[in-house]
Chains A and B, each alone.
Chain A
Amino acid sequence: MTELRTVYRRGRPVLEGLRYRGREGFYTWILHRATGLGVLFFLLLHIFDIFLIGFGAETFNSLLVIYTAPWARIMEVFLLFGLLFHALNGLRIIVQDFVPGLWRYERQLIWVEVVVLLPILAWGTYVFLSPLFS
């Protein structure tokens, strides 16, 4: 633990982290944590806004601009990416945990994630952002 603390104190964790030799496995590790915390933050916001429905239709509807505003639709694309990546990458981790032989094919499995993720993300981005241009 002492060694860990030294690393964190001396370095800039994010920059050091990106230089780490882990390549795909390490980048997905960082992204898994970042998307997890990001989706958690949205979940807290979402619980709060749904809680406000108890204050009646007028109050609730007037607050919904926070989700229909243009910048909110762009954040929605990030939410879709975050949830999808976390789900697919989490599934890969679970499968690798229970079928240890698959660790040898980690890089290939990560590229499968990318291939599954990109078309759904493209479709979602179109659905979320097209109302802004109509």
Chain B
Amino acid sequence: MSGQPGSARNRRRRLPGGKFELYSWLFMRVSGVVLLGIAVFHLFWMHMVIGVENIDFSVVAGRWENPLWRLYDLLLLAFALTHGMSGLRLAIDDYVHRPGWRVAAKSVAFLAYVLFLGMGAYIIVAFQTPPDLASLP
């Protein structure tokens, strides 16, 4: 009788919050492993190898002359912001209990997600290397 509504098999499969929470849980783990590589390497490279005191316009512009760095930064942006905002959603669920405030908080978080993803993706893709890059201060 498996597959019938109310059978043991179906009861086990009915998940709280539907499939979304399962996929969200899985995404946090997959993106976590990805970020363990690309976010930690980004911090190691920019802060430990290059050094924040040496970073300026020409360093970033020079980096983005290579389209592979743009792709790297785009992936880092998408994974890190989605992972972080997904974590913020879980924190809102934990601390904001009134339904109205919860909807408001999640709406603000979602708008911020779209806005910052758009800003970041726009500048990574659309930034044009100035022709006088070598002579810049």
Contact = CB atoms under 8 A, between A and B. Distances in A.
Nearest to B117: A47
Contact of B120 (A37, A50, A91): A50
B33, B43, B95, most chain A CB atoms within 10 A = B43
A4 B56 CA distance: 49
Contacts of B75: none
Contacts, number: 101
A57 interface: yes
A108 interface: no
A61 B137 contact: yes
B60 A53 contact: yes
B105 interface: no
Nearest to A98: B29
Contacts of A78: none
Contacts of B60: 50, 53, 60
Interface residues on B, range: 35 or more
Interface in B43-91: 43, 47-48, 51-53, 55-58, 60-61, 77, 80-81, 84-85, 87-88, 91
Interface of A: 1, 4-5, 8, 13, 33, 36-37, 39-40, 43-44, 47-48, 50-51, 53-54, 56-57, 60-61, 64, 67-68, 72-73, 76, 79-80, 83-84, 87, 90-91, 94, 97, 123-124, 127-128, 131
Given A48-B119, A53-B127, 4 more contacts: A4-B97, A8-B97, A47-B120, A60-B56
7 contacts: A4-B97, A43-B84, A53-B57, A56-B57, A87-B32, A90-B32, A97-B29
